[in-house]
A and B are shown apart, each in its own frame.
Chain A
Amino acid sequence: MRQKLFPSVDAAVADVPDGARIMFGGFGGAGFPNNLIHALARTGTRNITAISNNCGTRDGELGLMFKNGLISHVIASFPGPHANYFQERFAAKEVTLELVPQGILCERMRAAAAGILGFYTTVGVGTEVAAGKEERVIDNQHCILESPIRADYAFIKAQRADELGNLTYRLAARNFNPIMAMAARTTIVEVEEIVPVGSIDPEHVVTPAIFVHRIVQAKGIRYAG
């Protein structure tokens, strides 16, 4: 049987190539795969497309990737007031940005996960978000066509994994992680604890093991505030 456990965060990200599309979980300082991000930065892999709610908090979260110039395109809903390294690269035109409403970002990833090739929504009608998108009227409501967002990898954070990759999360650190886990071709999870198969109650599993490909235990780096 294929072994999903990796000995280190560096081993878990070693094969990520230049130009990869990567989803990064996390919101509001909670649930970011900070140890995987540090490991990826150590590889020096460049020209990354990052799909994430925000673009870092100073050096924290994706901040390090922008500081080191490793990301060239971002799909995000809210880059954030403290994403200074992103803002510098964006102003210098070294990074391009697609801004997406937060819930539509979720649904576009979920569409990719679910094999849905597009959906119509009223969100963004009449705004900058609608530019270049097909518009139509359904049930007397104007709506726009949104397309799936796919990725080569998802880097996610969970609290606990069993050795098969069934995951549970802690409090609001769940956020984008379960959606991204389902949407990427290869999902890499960093967890605080790995437990034997059978020790997570099947009724408590949030992300089923089918969506998880690599598991690594990592001591959480936290960036409060």
Chain B
Amino acid sequence: MPDKPRLSREEIAARAAKELPDGSYVNLGWGIPNLIADYLPAGLTVFFHSENGILGMGRRARAGEEDYDLVDAMKVPVTLAPGASFFHQADAHLMSRGGHLDVAVLGGFQVSEKGDLANWKVPGARGSGGIGGAMDIAAGAKVLIVCMEHTTKDGAPKIVKTCTYPLTALACVDTIVTDLAVIDVRAEGLLLRETAPGWTKKEIQELTGAPLL
């Protein structure tokens, strides 16, 4: 594997932030996606949705500002943006499942060339595992972006022909933003739209488990 710098988690988040349309309603999942709110391009207005019933979620609460009745999906105390609203959990998921949200951004363990996503369970992991809102959001998002590292810690591709991890949803991913590339999932295959600085298509292809267009 070429020993070249890759994008950091923060840089992946900043790159994914550029995919969000101005004025859009957006759900951010656990992991790298949760960093996106801190890296919005200047002048871009986005309304953040939280599965526990918040639309118009603001930045994280600072020390002394915390109110534990006002938390995000990761239990972190947050604030509200002007124009925010509250609703119950069924309506929160109605928004994601019913195609009302413009974009959802989730983390991933694997994405297949058909856009299948595996992001909730590592095979053989101990304990019960947990689905949370991932399946609802993945199955229902109008546009689904996955942010993840391009390869596992051992260097194995996370973009694969067929997912071997337990699936979250079939054919749901539209765009993959990794530390090496931006890739669109198209009917004809995976389109390499952008490479990280200093990386060639050939090098990225070698670290990808499915053909790149």
Contacts and interface: CB of A to CB of B under 8 A. Distances in A.
Given A104-B136, A129-B131, A171 B168 contact: no
Nearest to A123: B139
Contacts, number: 145
Interface string B160-199: 0000001111100000000000000000000000000000
B165 to A, nearest CB: 11
Interface string A87-120: 1001100000101111110110110000000000
A125 B70 contact: no
A169 B136 CA distance: 25
A161 B96 CA distance: 30
B162 to A, nearest CB: 12
A31 B128 CA distance: 24
A104 B67 CA distance: 28
Given A30-B52, A103-B94, A172 B166 contact: no
B51 interface: yes
A203 B127 CA distance: 45
Interface stretch (A11-19, A35-43, A73-81): A73-81
B69 A102 contact: no
**Interface-central residue, A53, A97, A177, by most chain B CB under 10 Å:** A53
B63 to A, nearest CB: 13
A219 interface: no
Given A30-B52, A86-B128, A103 B68 contact: no
A79 B127 CA distance: 10
Interface in B89-133: 89-90, 92-94, 96-97, 116, 126-133
B54 interface: yes
Interface string B62-97: 000011111111110000000000111110111011
Nearest to A87: B127
A30 B97 CA distance: 24
Interface residues of B, number: 44
B33 interface: no
Contacts of A169: 86
B29 interface: no
Contact of B136 (A101, A125, A225): A101
A139 interface: no
Interface residues of A, number: 53
Nearest to B86: A174
B97 A172 contact: no
Interface in A138-173: 142, 169-173
A54 B132 CA distance: 9
Nearest to B163: A126
A99 B133 contact: no
B130 A171 contact: no
A28 interface: yes
A30 B75 CA distance: 9
Given A106-B93, A127-B166, A97 B133 contact: no
A179 interface: yes
Contacts of A6: none
Interface of B: 50-54, 66-75, 86-90, 92-94, 96-97, 116, 126-136, 139-140, 166-170
29 contacts: A28-B75, A29-B68, A29-B75, A30-B52, A30-B69, A31-B69, A79-B127, A99-B128, A101-B131, A102-B132, A104-B136, A106-B89, A106-B93, A123-B97, A124-B139, A125-B169, A125-B170, A126-B116, A126-B170, A127-B135, A169-B86, A171-B67, A172-B50, A172-B52, A172-B53, A172-B69, A175-B53, A176-B88, A179-B90
Given A28-B71, A87-B127, A175-B89, 4 more contacts: A28-B72, A78-B131, A172-B70, A224-B66
